[in-house]
């Protein structure tokens, strides 16, 4: 059985979540937690990250979530949560 994946957020992600109203914050957190159970999930598009990796980007309402999966250590790395460009 594969090890469970952990979801890790950078500090700016936590800072952004603190500014979001509670119902929206809860929906975002539930979505982030779901990534740990479906690490093959793809975003709405892929972008090339500053670290040279391909990052997945999902648009969730008014927010964009950016992440990549580190299979070597069984972690989902949340790079950014920010207002989505519209």
pLDDT digits (tens, 9 = 90+) for 58-70: 999 999 999 999 9
Q: Is 36 helix (H, G, I), strand (E, B) or coil?
A: coil
Model confidence pLDDT, tens digit, residues 9-32 = 999 999 999 999 999 999 999 999
43: pLDDT strictly greater than 90: yes
The owner of tokens 């982030």 is 32
3: pLDDT strictly greater than 70: no
State the CB neighbour count (10 A cutoff) for residue 79. 22
What's the pTM value of the predicted model, to 2 decimals?
Answer: 0.91
What confidence score (pLDDT) does residue 76 get? 97
What confidence score (pLDDT) does residue 86 get? 61
């Amino acid at each position: 059985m594969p090890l469970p994946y952990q979801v890790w957020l950078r500090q700016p992600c936590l800072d952004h979540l603190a500014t979001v109203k509670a119902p929206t914050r809860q929906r975002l957190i539930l979505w982030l937690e779901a990534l740990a159970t479906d690490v093959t999930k793809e975003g709405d598009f892929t972008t090339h990250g500053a670290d040279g990796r391909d990052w997945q980007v999902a648009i969730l309402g008014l927010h964009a979530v950016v992440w990549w999966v580190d299979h070597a250590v069984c972690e989902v790395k949340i790079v950014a949560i920010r207002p989505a460009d519209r």
